[in-house]
Amino acid sequence: PALLRARQLLRDAAEEIFDDFGGLFPETTVTVGWFPGAGLPVHTDNCQDYLQQRHVTVVVWLNEGERDFQGGEFFFDDEKNAMRPQAGHAAIFGADVPHGLTAVTGGLRVSLNVWFTRNPEAAEDLRLLQHPPRAAARGPALSLRLFGQGPQQQWRGD
The tens digit of pLDDT for each residue in 84-109 reads 999 999 999 999 999 999 999 999 99
Confidence (pLDDT) at 122: 92
β 99-101/40-43 pair status: antiparallel
DSSP, collapsed to helix, strand or coil, labels residue 16 as helix
Confidence (pLDDT) at 110: 96
Residue 41 — φ and ψ, nearest 5°? -70, 170
Q: How many residues does the chain have?
A: 158
Of the CA atoms within 13 Å of residue 34, those in its CB half-sphere come to 31
The answer, as to whether pTM is greater than 0.95, is: no
Spatial contact of 12 and 114, defined as CB atoms under 8 Å apart: no
Local confidence band at 148 (pLDDT 50, 70, 90 cut-offs)? low
- 37-46, 106-115, 145-154: which range is least confident on average? 145-154
DSSP, collapsed to helix, strand or coil, labels residue 105 as strand
